[in-house]
A and B are shown apart, each in its own frame.
Chain A
Amino acid sequence: MTGDHRRVTDHPGMQRFDLDEVVDVVVVGTGAGGAPLLARLAEAGLRVVALEAGPDFAPSEFTPDELESTKINWMSERLSGGDDPTAFGPNNSGYGVGGSTLHWGAFTPRPDARDLRLRTDTGQGRDWPIDHAELIRYIERVESDIGVSGPAHYPWDPARSYAYPPVRRNGSSDVMIRGCDALGITATDGPAAILTRDRDQPHYGLRPATLDNGDIHQGDRFGAKATTANTYLPAAVAAGAEVRPDAFVHGIERDAAGKVTAVVYRSGGADHRQRCAALVLAAGGVETPRLLLHTGVANANGVVGRGFMAHGGVQVWGTFDEPIRGYRGYPSSIISEDFVRPDDADFVGGYLLQSLGVMPLNFGTQLVRGAGLWGDDLMSAMGEYPFSAGVGMNGECLPDDRNALTLSDELAEDGMPRAEITFSQGENERAIDRHGVAVMERILRAAGARSTRVLQRSCHTLGTARMGDDPADSVVDASGRSHEVDNLWICDNSTFPSALTANPALTQMALALRTADLMLAGR
């Protein structure tokens, strides 16, 4: 069978730390937050252990089948409420060594400077307590570490360059380019952590150029898509880190002064205690606040879980005369940053646009949930699937403390209370949606769509343990360190003070390297 059989923990020289050894740092989670930080700390000589709730998959175990592939998603139920409940499972979650980078779309726009000073510029939302130029220096390092493809000339940032040529355009890419050209909207090949040439990945080996398969959200079996499991984690292990899969952390032990002394995790049906001098939570925007609320750690100000944000992810699909079959090729190869700050905006912030191909179950689910279709309407819309090309947005979301993650009375299979997430869009999010939908419909019509259909959705889990300078109004400081527990750091999307218009993973990896540097600098 083809497919990549390498597992992170197969590395013959991987360190094994004793449970009673006080390791320098335990990192909970191995995704875009945990893995780069783990690698950086290990390279600096620290004794570090990463605990991952899910298994250590070989990429060859991934499957393009959309029902079977949910083994790489966190499938223990989250409870989703509010006026605009956000979907979890295959949307928004990861499980396994590599975390959500196993299923991510690998779309890697950089954060826009204006998004980091949203409050300064508009009086709304929150500023990031981080300098944009500093963040970009880390972004460039991440792009070099993982291999990112993109256009030779980036219209909105002419100084930028990418190491690999862009991925091949598919049917829906051509549609978006055609529509944008007709309307005078600038659009081009997007940045993606998808290799278009073979790459010798340090500490991993060959990662081959993409096969143009459209199933990357189900896990890339061949390694053209960067995950932390084929980039940072092998580097971390080579530098002396231990990665422990199948280890679900449910307890944090502290001394009388409140400092973390150990974490308790379940593995193989038994509880284990790993002693540590410092703890980094990198379990994502849902599991990190869930663990903090469950353990009562770092929440004296009651901010944990408050201000949950999800990007507006509304999509518009057009129906065309010829088969588009956007399940072939990288699903989101075209980008437009023309609407990061549109001139005619009746809202603050803005959005990115990307072209969309999609797998059929994802499409069908959105027809049911996002468009409310049933019966013959649903079946005829499914029949249009191969003739459909989409454009989707990633839109700013203002923090609102009424949107929150709390704990349910109901216990999950893992013994901890389930997470309840309440999310309602505010007027600003609705205004962004309206603007985006109108633009996307115009693009598709200009490209020759016979009809268009709007599918409502939101994505990404942000802001549930936010970063800020004010200890009364945030959970961690600008370095990611808890205001309350000085040997506790958080390194995942829960620290985002505002949502940004860029998709979060690239920024997250940069934040991880930065937090690691600041942890090292403070030693």
Chain B
Amino acid sequence: MPSAANHPHECTVFFLPGLGLDAASVGAIAAAADPRLRVVGIDLLDRGRAASVDDLADTALERIAAEADGAPFLVCGHSLGGKVAARVMARVLAGTERVFGLAGAVLLAPSPPTPEPMPGDKRAEMLATAQGEHLSREDAAAFVAANVAAPLPAEVQEAAIDAVVRQPASAWREWLTAGSLEDATSLVGVLDLPVVVLAGDADEALGADAQPDLIADVYPRARVERMPGVGHLLPYEAPERVAAVLAETWDAIRTAAPVVPAEWGRVIASSRVDVAVRRTLAHRAIADDRDRAPRSLNRGQVETLRALAALLVPQGDGATIDLATRIDDMLAEGGTDGWRPLGSPADPIAYARGLDAIAAVWPSEVVEQRNLVVTLITDGIDADGVGADGIRSWFEDARNDLLRMWLAHPASLARIGFDGFAVGGTAPQPAGWATIAAGERETWEPSELGQTVVEDAA
């Protein structure tokens, strides 16, 4: 259910509802949402199945793929929908889905990938209410009342009860007896992307006190925000705050990473692209965590590398890739390009010594910084244990590494007009080129790539 606004949006929010709820439960959040966000509620339980996380993720991904437009998107999962969101994100990042643009998540009292902590008597009690085709209105009302910190306004409460009554009881039964008990840790893995977790202080099992431990192993970047006077039904109890956090999260992401244009996102999501390529590009599109502890370099060296990167590979106006963090990752993982100049020490040592030597003489004026770059390219400078020739050689490697890290990002590929990764793919017949002549492009290609349009062979 897309929001009514016709405002051109920057980002889509795919909302995955909690147990007993459906797409309509995002209504108040959508109404309060920043107009740059398109909010799309996804029904998860209407098919009556919830026996496994992948059952629900299948449904979610089918509907997300139908609604996705290639532009960035956030996943917003509530409770049960939070567990599904984790699996949805893992599958999107694995490249197996015809979806591209995952940028981050806002999770509302999410059920964790581990078996959900739920007292046995509560589980039995809920199961007892779900024996028919639907919950009775009384049981639904009791469920809503038990999950809020304070009574909801009458109109809101009625809407919540309506939603609960609408869901097939079979979905309740399957979730309570199987889906919520599934250990999905290995299906989810570690999801290293921007995540905010909102949780009420009046929610017991999935509240603000419990969440930090539940999510620590899954979301290394997650920030948990405690919501005073809020229970478990955040979409009904605190829709304005959820909407505000969605906008804040999107703002943080769009200032931390370049955006892959929607037309390019659609190509990456298409069957012309191999699973492995989509996986690689999906990971590279995630905004860098500029505050995280460096893995190979130290913080000062990362700062020096950032300053150099701004001069050597200037990314222009707008959000940038944190090339220094990506090189630090490369060094930590032992990545190389297969050779190095004779006389230059191994990369992690060369980087550390080179950056320290540069930091020691780094001028404050940009003009002088540029002069220093020229000196580094032509002569090098002396560093601890490495002569000027060695630093000059390393500096060529470093300039190349910075360019490699920049060019690897899908937004950079879009910027230089390269869609040659969209060959092969997942269709029964591998994708090749209908036209390879200058000036011509095919119908599936981004519009800026050529004037003359040629129908593709398929």
Interface residues of A (CB under 8 A from B): 1-3, 63-65, 67-68, 70, 73-82, 85, 87-90, 93, 168-171, 174-175, 210-215, 221-222, 320, 322-325, 327-329, 359-361, 364-365, 367-369, 372, 374-376, 378-379, 382-383, 385-386, 389, 420, 422
**A495 CB → nearest B CB, Å:** 23
- A374 touches which of B373, B423, B427, B429 (Cβ 8 Å): B373
Say yes or no: B424 contacts A221, CB within 8 Å.
yes
Q: Which residues of chain A have C-beta atoms less than 8 A from B399's C-beta?
A: 368, 374
Closest to A361 in B: B407
Check A211/B431 contact, CB under 8 A, given A80-B341, A374-B373. Answer: yes
A-B contact pairs, 9 of them (CB 8 A): A2-B427, A77-B346, A78-B339, A79-B342, A322-B439, A368-B396, A374-B399, A379-B313, A382-B416
Q: Are B312 and A85 in contact (CB under 8 A)?
A: no
State how many angstroms separate the Cβ of B304 from the closest Cβ of chain A: 16
Instruction: Note all chain B residues with C-beta closer than 8 A to A379.
Output: 313-316
Q: In the complex, what's the smallest C-beta–C-beta distance from A385 to chain B, in angstroms?
A: 5
State in angstroms the CA–CA spacing of A74 and B336 once bound together: 11
Contacts of A420 in B (CB 8 A): 342
Flag the segment in B169-177, B275-283, B287-295 that touches A.
B275-283
Q: Give which listed residue, A2, A221, A383, contacts B426 with CB less than 8 A.
A: A2
The residues of A that contact B280 with a CB separation of less than 8 Å are: 63, 65, 67-68
| Distance from B425 Cβ to chain A, minimum over Cβ atoms (Å) | 6
Which of B277, B312, B420, B426 has the most chain A CB atoms inside 10 A of its CB?
A: B420
Which B residues touch A322, using CB under 8 A? 438-439, 450-451
| Closest residue on chain B to residue A88 by CB atoms | B339
- Report the Cα distance A386→B439, complex, angstroms: 10
Are A328 and B420 in contact, with the CB atoms below 8 A?
yes
Contact of B400 among A73, A93, A213, A365 (CB under 8 A): A365
Give A234 Cβ to nearest chain B Cβ, in Å: 21
Using a CB-CB cutoff of 8 Å, which residues 303-360 of chain B contact chain A? 311-316, 336-343, 346
**Interchain CA distance A328-B456 in the complex, whole Å:** 14
Inside 8 A of B274's CB, which chain A residues have their CB?
1, 3, 63-64, 221
Knowing A67-B408, A360-B413, say if A214 contacts B420 (CB, 8 Å): yes
The minimal Cβ–Cβ distance linking A378 to chain B, given in whole angstroms, is: 7
A213 to B273, CA, bound (A): 13
Chain A residue at smallest Cβ distance from B96: A1
Cβ-neighbour of A212 out of B407, B433, B450 (below 8 A): B433
CA distance A82 to B389 in the complex (A): 12
How far is the CB of A464 from the nearest CB of chain B, in Å?
16
Interface pair A64/B450, CB less than 8 Å apart: no
Give a binary string over B403-437; 1 marks a CB under 8 Å from any A CB, 0 the rest: 11001100001011110110111111111110111
Q: What's the least CB distance linking B92 to chain A, in Å?
A: 17
| Residues in A whose Cβ lies below 8 Å from that of B227 | none
Q: A73-B338, A89-B338 in contact; A170/B416 too (CB < 8 A)?
A: no
A325 touches B449 (CB 8 A): yes
- Interface presence of B28 (CB below 8 A): no
A9–B404 Cα distance when bound, in Å, is 34
For A378, the chain B residues whose CB sits under 8 A away are 312-313, 403
Assuming the contacts A1-B274, A63-B276, asked whether A222 and B430 have C-beta atoms less than 8 A apart, the reply is yes
**Are B436 and A329 interface neighbours, CB within 8 A?**
yes
B420 and A215: CB pair below 8 A? yes
In the assembled complex, the Cα of A325 lies from the Cα of B418 at a distance in Å of 8
Establish whether residues B426 and A212, one from each chain, have CB atoms under 8 Å apart when the complex forms. Answer: no
Compute how far the CA of A286 lies from the CA of B65 in the bound complex, rounded to whole angstroms: 49
Q: State which of B420, B428, B451 has its C-beta within 8 Å of the C-beta of A2.
A: B428
Q: Given known contacts A212-B433, A325-B438, A374-B312, is B421 in contact with A65 (CB within 8 Å)?
A: yes
B336 and chain A: residue at smallest CB distance: A77
Q: How far is the CA of A495 from the CA of B431 in the complex (A)?
A: 40
Given A212-B432, A214-B420, A215-B420, residue A79 in contact with residue B438 (CB < 8 A): no
Complex contacts, B245 vs chain A, CB 8 Å? none
- Structural contact, A368 and B436, CB atoms closer than 8 A: no
User: Which of A168, A171, A327 is in CB contact (< 8 Å) with B420?
Assistant: A327
Task: List B residues at the A interface (Cβ < 8 Å).
Answer: 274-277, 280-281, 311-316, 336-343, 346, 370, 373, 377, 396, 399-400, 403-404, 407-408, 413, 415-418, 420-421, 423-433, 435-439, 441, 449-451
A384 to B261, CA, bound (A): 19
B426 A386 Cβ-Cβ under 8 A: no
Would you call A2 and B423 a contact (CB within 8 A)? no
A359 vs B404: C-alpha distance in the bound complex, in angstroms? 12
Q: How far is the CA of A1 from the CA of B276 in the complex (A)?
A: 10
What is the minimal beta-carbon distance from B64 to any residue of chain A, in angstroms?
Answer: 21
In whole angstroms, how far apart are the Cα atoms of A64 and B433 in the complex? 15
The answer to whether A360 and B418 touch (CB under 8 A), given A75-B336, A374-B399, is yes
| A2-B425, A78-B338, A93-B338 known; A212 vs B436 contact (CB < 8 Å) | yes
Provide the residues of chain A in CB contact with B425, threshold 8 Å: 2
A81–B343 contact, CB under 8 A?
A: yes
- Of chain B, the residue at the smallest CB distance from A413 is B334
Q: Within 8 Å CB of B432, what residues of A?
A: 210-213
Determine if B426 and A1 form an interchain contact, defined as CB atoms under 8 angstroms apart: yes
Q: Is the CB of B428 within 8 A of A386?
A: no
- In angstroms, Cα B432 to Cα A77, docked, is 34
* Given A85-B342, A211-B430, A386-B449: A168 and B416 interface contact (C-beta under 8 Å): no
Cα distance, A366 to B316, chains bound together (Å): 22
Asked whether A213 and B342 contact (CB < 8 A) given A171-B436, A329-B436, A372-B377, the answer is no
State the Cβ distance, B226 to closest chain A Cβ, in Å. 41
Q: Which residue of A lies closest to B403 (CB)?
A: A364
List, in ascending order, chain B residues with CB within 8 A of A221's CB: 274, 424, 430
- Residue among A80, A322, A374, A376 having the largest count of chain B Cβ atoms under 10 Å: A374
The 5 A-B residue pairs with the shortest CB-CB distance in the complex, in nearest-first order: A89-B338, A211-B432, A81-B342, A171-B438, A329-B436
- Beyond A328-B435, A379-B315, 19 additional contacts (C-beta under 8 Å) are A2-B427, A2-B430, A3-B274, A67-B404, A67-B408, A77-B336, A77-B338, A77-B339, A79-B341, A80-B340, A85-B341, A85-B342, A171-B438, A211-B432, A211-B433, A322-B451, A323-B439, A327-B418, A379-B313
Inter-chain contact B449/A422, CB cutoff 8 Å:
no
For A366, the closest partner residue in chain B by CB is B400
Q: How far is the CB of B372 from chain A (nearest CB, A)?
A: 12
Complex: how many Å from CA A1 to CA B437? Answer: 28
For the complex, give the distance between the alpha carbons of A221 and B400 in Å: 28
With a 10 A CB-CB cut-off, give which of B342, B428, B429, B436 has the most chain A CB atoms.
B436
Question: Are A386's CB and B341's CB within 8 A?
Answer: no
Q: In whole Å, how far is A429's beta carbon from the nearest beta carbon of chain B?
A: 19
Chain B residues lying within 8 Å of A169, measured Cβ to Cβ, are 436
Please give me the residue from chain B that is nearest to A224 by CB atom. Answer: B432
In the complex, which residue of chain A has the Cβ closest to the Cβ of B452? A322
Q: Tell me the bound Cα distance from A254 to B449 in angstroms.
A: 61
Q: Which residue of A lies closest to B316 (CB)?
A: A379
Give B429's nearest chain A residue, CB to CB.
Answer: A2
Q: Is the CB of A374 within 8 A of B438?
A: no
Minimum CB–CB distance for A223 against chain B, Å: 11
What is the CA–CA distance of A1 and B316 in the complex, to the nearest angstrom?
A: 38
Minimum CB–CB distance from B424 to chain A (whole Å) comes to: 5
The answer for the CA separation of A90 and B404 in the assembled complex, in Å, is 13
Q: Is the CB of B312 within 8 A of A174?
A: no
